[in-house]
Structure 1
Amino acid sequence: MSANRTKPERAAVTLVLTVQKAVASPGLPTNSELRRWLAAALEQSAAITVRFVGTAEGRRLNREYRDRDYATNVLSFDYGSSAVGRALAGDIVLCAPVLRREARAQGKPLAAHVAHLAVHGALHLQGHDHRSPSAAARMEALEKRILAKLAFPDPYAGDAG
């Protein structure tokens, strides 16, 4: 007699998503696209605000929270890790002009680049980081796997390593 072994089902993940567009920028993803991309990256339920900003706000936030005086592509703000039965809460700030410039320079569709950085931000909210080479390799592998499930190409293909 053999035991019927099945993978345990992943608990349903709930995402409460708020999207803010503080900058007019054509071609930004729809709320439903953002929801799909973030949900694919979540290991637990979450309440996330995604805010698209311009260069001035992106620079100000990066200077204020990371002591770096330039607009960066993505910032993540984690407001609490999950306890049993509690959702993760955080903000992901995406600088639209920086994302557009990077996508163009890398020859990538804007949607693919925004999806990558949204997933990257969601992983940061869940405690992933790239502070060491081994942590960076783990995070990049996870990003590649998530983006492949979303039918996006490897965001690191062509990077000089």
Structure 2
Amino acid sequence: PTDVLSFPMGDRVGDRLLLGDVVVSLDTARRRAEETGSPLERVVLNLLIHGIIHLLGYDHERGGEEERRFRELEEKLRAELGIR
């Protein structure tokens, strides 16, 4: 089942750039939390990070260098936010 969806916008409002929307399936996140023994909040935060990286234009499904960079950004954001 789908756990996170990203809907890019790329619109400007004044001097701000709206990247888009990220939608997390809480049902899927709950199941993943139960399966992995992770707190629900951590699972949701990881899904949000994943969705935001997609909004930045990266796509792990392309493989190769693109996937490597995607995973690198995920790890960097998790580390900066103190999420494991």
**Bin of the TM-score, shorter chain as denominator length:** 0.7 to 0.9
> Are 1:134 and 2:55 an aligned pair?
no
Q: Which residue of 2 aligns with 1:150?
A: 81
Identity of aligned residues (%): 40
Equivalent position of 2:30 in the other structure: 100
Report the Cα distance in structure 1 between the residues aligned to 2:32 and 2:52, rounded to whole angstroms: 19
Of 48, 53, 62 in structure 2, the residue corresponding to residue 118 of structure 1 is 48
TM-score by length of 2: 0.83
RMSD: 1.7
Corresponding residue for residue 19 of structure 2: 89
Q: Which runs of 5 or more structure 2 residues have no equivalent in the other structure?
A: none
Higher-strand-fraction structure: 2
Say if 1:132 and 1:81 are closer, same or farther in 2 by CA, change over 3 A: farther
Residue 106 of structure 1, CA deviation: 1.9
Q: 1:81 to 1:120 in 2, by over 3 A?
A: farther
Deviation sequence 1:55-114 (CA, Å, 0-9, x none)? xxxxxxxxxxxxxxxx410000001267xx441331111100001101221221111111
**C-alpha contact 2:6 2:23 (8 A) present in aligned 1:** yes
Q: Structure 1's 120 and 81: CA in aligned 2 closer, same or farther, altered over 3 A?
A: farther
CA distance in 2, matches of 1:107, 1:133: 30
Closer/same/farther in 2, CA of residues 133 and 108 from structure 1, 3 Å limit: farther
Distance in 2 between the 1:107 and 1:141 partners? 24
Give the paired residue count: 81
SS of the aligned residue for 2:10 comes to coil
Q: Hey, what's the Cα distance between the residues in 1 that align with 2:68 and 2:31?
A: 25
In structure 2, how many angstroms separate the alpha carbons of the residues matched to 1:103 and 1:151? 18
Runs of 4+ in 1 over 2 A off after TM superposition: none
The structure whose residues are more often helix, as a share, is 2
Structure of larger gyration radius: 1
TM-score normalized by the length of structure 1: 0.46
